[in-house]
Amino acid sequence: MVLVSILSGILGYNIGTIQSHRVEAKNRTFTNTVATTLTTTRTAIETVTYISMFTTTITYTNAAINVSLIKSKLGKHVFIDNWNITVVSIKDSKYIKIDDSYYKVSDENEKYVIVTLRIGNNDLETRIPSNIGLFMLVTDKGRSYEETFPQTYVPHPSEEEKLQAIPYNELSLYTSIAPQAFIEGDLLFVIKEDEEPLTLWFEVSWVDIKVQIELKSN
């Protein structure tokens, strides 16, 4: 049974509205501040109290999984678990460059998509962002793609191929980040040439939050 008590506030949230989300589960408490839409899915017996317009406190009465969805946009900051996550840019090409090496897609009907991500540490301790992951790219045709690796090595690229190549610097999620510092790196995908990237999805474990980033700039 789910007991829901609504004391005050509105259940709908607008993208870009600062919200504070506090969750208590199995003696674990965390607070998130986000500038986006927040949706909570309940999957077990729990007590939910909406304290105010932008604050939700959830106390579980048994083992449960709480998954929240955060929506944001290209270039906007997302604050989760004292991480500051931003999709900086998105580019596509049939060629990528790693240091002095060049790679092309294996299928001429496909292309590389590089998503540049910045992760900042807002905590007071040095941390490793290993709980951020499971990246998926969704296109305008409704297809989803997982991260991939450089495909076909080009030993002697032409000048035209060199000009088309996008620099690729793989994002490392096992790099220590000092307080108030950040790392920046790229996610690599291969999609069909006639498709366009629409959204990037990823998860932040431990706090059970999924993130959807709209990749089209307005």
Fold of 74-218: Immunoglobulin-like (2.60.40)
pLDDT confidence of 89, banded at 50, 70, 90?
very high
* The pLDDT of residue 108 is above 90: yes
Residue ranges per domain, the chain? 1-73, 74-218
The chain-wide mean pLDDT, for the chain, equals 78
Predicted TM-score (pTM) of the model is 0.70
Average the pLDDT over 31-57 and give the result: 35
Percent share of the chain, pLDDT over 90: 66
Question: How many Å apart are CA 198 and CA 145, to the nearest integer?
Answer: 11
The beta-strand segments (E) located in 94-165 are: 95-98, 101-104, 110-121, 132-139, 144-146, 152-154
